[in-house]
A and B are shown apart, each in its own frame.
Chain A
Amino acid sequence: MATRPARRPEGPAQRIKGALVEASRSIFPSMGAAEWRSVIRGEPAPRPNPRMRVHSNSFWYHIRPRALPLEATAWYYTFGLGWMSFFFFMLEAITGAILMVYYTPSPLQAYGDMQKIISDVPLGRLLRNMHRLGAHFMVAVVILHMMRTYFTASYKAPRQFIWVTGILLLIMTLVLSFSGYLLPWDQLAYWAVTIGSSMADAAPLIGSAANLLLRGGVDIGAGTLLRFYLLHVFALPALTILFISIHYYAVRKQELSPIHELFAPENPRGWGKPTKRKVPFLPDQVFFEIALIVLLTFAFVAINYFFWDAKLESHANPGVTPQHTKAPWYFLWLQGMLKFGDKLVFGLILGPLVLVLPILLPYIDRNLSRRFADRKVAITSGIIAMVFFGFVTYAGLPEYGIQQSGSQEILTEFVPIEGEGIVDHTPWSALPNTPVVYEVVAQNGTVDGGTITDLNGNVIDANTLSEETRHLFEEFRGAVQHWVEVDPRFLNPTAKLSIEPWTFVTNTEGQVVNAADGQPAVAIKRATVVLDFNSTEVDATTGEVRALSNQDGTPQISTSQQSDFLHRDSHEDRLEENASAPREASQ
Chain B
Amino acid sequence: MTRNILIATIFSLATAILLGIIFVGESQRLPEATAAISAEQLERGARDYEQYCATCHGLAGQGEVKFGAPALNNIVQKYTLSQNGQPPAFDQPNGIKEKYGSMRNYIEATLFSGIRGTPMPAWGQPQGPLRRDQISNITSYVLSWNGQVPDAAKLTADRVATEQAPTPDPDANPVSQGQIVFTQKGCVGCHAMNDQKLVGPGLGGLFQPEGTAAFGTNLPNGKPVNEADVREWIQGGSAAFPENNNDLQGQDYSPMPGFALTDDEWSRLLVWLQAHNRDGTLTPEAEQIIQEAQGGEGTGESQPTAQPTGQPNQPGAPNSPAGPGSTATP
| With contact pairs A290-B8, A320-B312 given, residues A550 and B156 touching in the complex (Cβ less than 8 Å) | no
Contact A524 B29 (CB under 8 A): no
- Residue of A455, A526, A556 touching B303 (CB-CB under 8 A): A556
Contact B12 A294 (CB under 8 A): yes
Give the chain B neighbours of A112 by CB distance below 8 A: 133
- Residue of B7, B14, B150, B156 touching A504 (CB-CB under 8 A): B150
Q: Which residue on A lies nearest to B38, using beta carbons?
A: A569
A563 to B314, alpha carbons, bound, how many Å? 10
Task: Digitize A561-577: 1 where CB-to-B-CB distance is under 8 Å, 0 elsewhere.
Answer: 11111111111001000
Residue B195 at the A interface, CB < 8 A? no
Contact A123 B26 (CB under 8 A): yes
Residue B76 at the A interface, CB < 8 A? yes
Give the chain A neighbours of B12 by CB distance below 8 A: 294
Q: Which residue on B lies nearest to A297, using beta carbons?
A: B15
- Residue of B37, B129, B294, B312 touching A551 (CB-CB under 8 A): B294
The DSSP consensus for interface residues of chain A is mixed
Partner-B contacts on A (CB < 8 A): 39-42, 108, 111-112, 115, 118-120, 122-123, 125-126, 283-284, 287-288, 290-291, 294-295, 297-298, 301-302, 305, 314-315, 317, 319-320, 417, 434-435, 455-456, 500-504, 506, 510-512, 520, 523-524, 526, 528, 535, 550-552, 556, 558-571, 574
Give the chain B neighbours of A40 by CB distance below 8 A: 2, 5
Residue B319 at the A interface, CB < 8 A? no
How far in angstroms is the closest Cβ of chain A from B188? 16
Residue B132 at the A interface, CB < 8 A? yes
How far in angstroms is the closest Cβ of chain B from A117? 10
How far in angstroms is the closest Cβ of chain B from A550? 7
A528 to B152, alpha carbons, bound, how many Å? 13
| With contact pairs A125-B33, A288-B4, A556-B306 given, residues A567 and B150 touching in the complex (Cβ less than 8 Å) | no
Task: Digitize B293-325: 1 where CB-to-A-CB distance is under 8 Å, 0 elsewhere.
Answer: 010001110110010100111100000000000
Enumerate 29 A-B pairs (CB-CB under 8 Å) in ascending A order: A108-B132, A119-B30, A119-B34, A120-B34, A123-B26, A290-B4, A291-B5, A294-B7, A294-B11, A297-B11, A298-B14, A298-B15, A305-B22, A314-B40, A434-B152, A455-B152, A455-B155, A500-B156, A501-B150, A501-B152, A503-B141, A503-B148, A510-B148, A526-B46, A535-B306, A550-B303, A552-B298, A562-B313, A567-B40
Task: Digitize B115-155: 1 where CB-to-A-CB distance is under 8 Å, 0 elsewhere.
Answer: 00000000000000101111000000100111110101101
Q: Which residue on A lies nearest to B44, using beta carbons?
A: A314
Give the chain B neighbours of A287 by CB distance below 8 A: 1, 4-5, 8
Partner-A contacts on B (CB < 8 A): 1-2, 4-5, 7-8, 11-12, 14-15, 18-19, 22-23, 26-27, 29-30, 32-40, 42-44, 46-47, 50, 76-77, 129, 131-134, 141, 144-148, 150, 152-153, 155-156, 159, 294, 298-300, 302-303, 306, 308, 311-314
A503 to B72, alpha carbons, bound, how many Å? 14
| With contact pairs A500-B156, A565-B47 given, residues A42 and B1 touching in the complex (Cβ less than 8 Å) | yes
A220 to B5, alpha carbons, bound, how many Å? 50
A584 to B250, alpha carbons, bound, how many Å? 51
Give the chain A neighbours of B44 by CB distance below 8 A: 314
A434 to B156, alpha carbons, bound, how many Å? 13
A38 to B7, alpha carbons, bound, how many Å? 18
How far in angstroms is the closest Cβ of chain B from A580? 13
| With contact pairs A297-B15, A569-B35 given, residues A561 and B42 touching in the complex (Cβ less than 8 Å) | no
A305 to B150, alpha carbons, bound, how many Å? 39
A295 to B299, alpha carbons, bound, how many Å? 77
Contact A567 B43 (CB under 8 A): yes
| With contact pairs A125-B33, A315-B131, A565-B47 given, residues A570 and B39 touching in the complex (Cβ less than 8 Å) | yes
Q: Which residue on B lies nearest to A280, using beta carbons?
A: B1
Contact B4 A122 (CB under 8 A): no
| With contact pairs A40-B5, A551-B302 given, residues A123 and B313 touching in the complex (Cβ less than 8 Å) | no
Give the chain A neighbours of B148 by CB distance below 8 A: 503-504, 506, 510-512
How far in angstroms is the closest Cβ of chain A from B206? 24
A302 to B38, alpha carbons, bound, how many Å? 27
5 tightest Cβ-Cβ pairs between the two chains A and B: A569-B39, A510-B147, A567-B39, A42-B2, A570-B39
A112 to B37, alpha carbons, bound, how many Å? 11
| With contact pairs A455-B152, A504-B150 given, residues A569 and B312 touching in the complex (Cβ less than 8 Å) | no
Contact B4 A567 (CB under 8 A): no
A558 to B311, alpha carbons, bound, how many Å? 12
How far in angstroms is the closest Cβ of chain A from B259? 26
Q: Which residue on A lies nearest to B74, using beta carbons?
A: A510
| With contact pairs A301-B18, A417-B312, A550-B300 given, residues A294 and B8 touching in the complex (Cβ less than 8 Å) | yes
Give the chain B neighbours of A111 by CB distance below 8 A: 133
A112 to B41, alpha carbons, bound, how many Å? 12
Q: Which residue on A lies nearest to B302, using beta carbons?
A: A551
Q: Which residue on B lies nearest to A560, using beta carbons?
A: B311
Contact A319 B33 (CB under 8 A): no
Contact B22 A291 (CB under 8 A): no
Q: Which residue on A lies nearest to B10, using beta carbons?
A: A294
Give the chain B neighbours of A558 by CB distance below 8 A: 308
| With contact pairs A118-B33, A455-B156 given, residues A291 and B11 touching in the complex (Cβ less than 8 Å) | yes
Q: Which residue on B lies nearest to A556, using beta carbons?
A: B303
Give the chain A neighbours of B29 by CB distance below 8 A: 125
Contact B33 A291 (CB under 8 A): no
A563 to B153, alpha carbons, bound, how many Å? 13
Contact A502 B152 (CB under 8 A): yes
Contact A503 B39 (CB under 8 A): no
A526 to B154, alpha carbons, bound, how many Å? 13
Give the chain A neighbours of B42 by CB distance below 8 A: 523-524, 565, 567
